[in-house]
Amino acid sequence: MKYALIIFLLTIFMTMGWGQTNILVDNVIISAEKRKTVVNTGEKGELQVNVSPKNLLAFKKRGWVRYSDFGARGDGKTDDIDNIAATHAVANQYGLSVKANDDDIYYISGKERTAFIRTNTDFGKATFIIDDTKVQNRNASVFMVNSDLKPFKLEKISSLKRNQQKIDHSLPGACLITVTNAKVKRFIRFGLNQNKGSSQTDIFVVDKNGNVDMNAPIVWDFDQITDITAIPMDENTLTISGGRFRTIANKEESKYNYYSRNIAIRRSHVLVQGLEHRVTGEGEHGAPYGGFINIGDCAYVTVRNTVLTGHKTYITIGAAEKPVSMGTYDISVNRAINVSFVHCSQTNDINDKTYWGIMGSNFSKNLLYDSCIFSRFDAHMGVANATIRNSTLGHMGINAIGSGLLTVENSTINGYALINLRSDYGSTWQGDVLIRNCVFVPSGGKPANSSLIGGANSSQHDFGYTCYMPERITIENLQINDANHPESYKGPAIFSNFNPAMKDASYQETFPFVRTREVILRNVSTASGMALRLSDNPFLFKDVKVRTE
């Protein structure tokens, strides 16, 4: 009898606690009053949800909630975004997982409403239709995966050095550090999309004692710091599973008005698995997309067994006042460390040039493709260490600049070069390249003059840093499928002609381009039967030591 009374009193106290009103969670006002569970919109557009104490007790007992628990219709016509956002807000407040009904079709209009995910979510076999034909705010994500842990400034750190092993600051736990020096500009872009560069930026992981994870070291000297922020990292892994997402594409004018109607991941230690994203309704014009899977300001994110879609390429007028193809992405990685794509593919033909390359990244470290079939790997404003293995890449191949080790192994590459060092950022790679057990199909098998390492640098443009070619390039067990080639073909080259104007020693380099020191070749074969040669411009690479083993 005594224990029964204690349980009864505890239940009363818990219910009283739940009855507290106006808890603000993720821009949603939550109450637990003794009335039915309902979702409403306030006069100023704020989301309001009441959870009946009876329902809340049942939800907590089973440990999860469904979108239908909060009024989502799932009929493919009724706008369910408010109900979806409310469900996640309640789940976040009470530590509950979220599940979708497998047979439901959730229609998401262009209304400005973001659902914040901070608990495990199983989208299952449900379909989500994201309608971008009439959007209130193209910058508002549909889903935002974030953390309860709040970033904070590190005011006492005024400088950093490249490869520094420790920062003088104690922390509450492991943190991702982002640092900026707005007084220094790097990545001063050249070409049709030319610009004045970006502020010097770096990211790195430290433990609670300030020790830097040297697998992703600091890559710049910071003589001055204009901003340095510590982003605490959750220790447990948050899992997002399933979901069949379909974007009805926007029909805007083709200008650089990027759409971010996506799943944005801003939390460390996240696993996304079994998701599908398809795109319909692309017409004669449209604004580009900034990545349906958009990963930034985080570390240790894995996307597994996921199917994505390349977006149609549209033309606009670039910064040089000339027509330019706009980059548009289904994957975007920015300021992130240890990001992996495993057993992923795309819905459209990886060699169809009407679709832009599926991935773009900036300011990231330790990126991995493993067992992927994608149209492209790309690192715009630098990557420190990248690995592509057991994969097939399409018409845009491998495009990268950065530092550290770039590894390509057990893969088939269909680009015009096996690795293209992006010329708009100086074709720079400060480190080594390892190519092992690969097949190179120049231009996807179309007649082409082929080279293994592509790029260009006139040595006359200031990119905001010294440009390097890979110091050492090791190539072993490479098959070059160049049987289909033009009549003028002389055989594949190790290097493309990076600077046609530099034909002899009279050429003056204003910003010298540091060339490769050594190339090591082991078992390289060609379908054409022609020998691998140095370059169409042998003078440019006369000091490169080529060693065949």
Type and span of the H or E element at 5: helix 2-18
In this prediction, residue 15 has a pLDDT band, given cuts at 50, 70 and 90, of: very low
pTM for this entry: 0.94
- What does the alpha-carbon distance between residue 9 and residue 25 come to, in Å, rounded to a whole number? 28
DSSP secondary structure of 28-81 = EEEE--SS--EEEE-TTS-EEEE--HHHHHHHHHHTEEEGGGGT---EEEEE-H
Sequence-ordered list of residues with C-beta below 8 angstroms from that of 466, at least 6 positions apart, any chain = 428, 511, 512, 514
pLDDT confidence of residue 303: 98
In this prediction, residue 18 has a pLDDT band, given cuts at 50, 70 and 90, of: very low
pLDDT confidence of residue 216: 97
Distances (CA, A) of 259 to 26, 132, 545: 22, 9, 47
The pLDDT tens digits of the residues spanning 326-348 come to: 999 999 999 999 999 999 999 99
The pLDDT tens digits of the residues spanning 165-177 come to: 999 998 999 999 9
Q: What average pLDDT does this structure show over 113-120?
A: 98
- pLDDT for residue 1 is more than 50: no
Q: What average pLDDT does this structure show over 382-390?
A: 98
Q: Please give the structure tokens belonging to residue 533.
A: 């040669």
User: Could you give the 3-state DSSP secondary structure of residue 261?
Assistant: coil
- pLDDT for residue 3 is more than 50: no
High-pLDDT (> 70) share of the chain, %: 96
Q: What average pLDDT does this structure show over 236-254?
A: 98
Classify 402 in phi/psi space as left (phi over 0), alpha (psi -120 to 50) or beta. Answer: left
- Nearest C-alpha neighbor of 46 from the set 66, 63, 24: 24
Q: What average pLDDT does this structure show over 301-319?
A: 96
pLDDT confidence of residue 382: 95
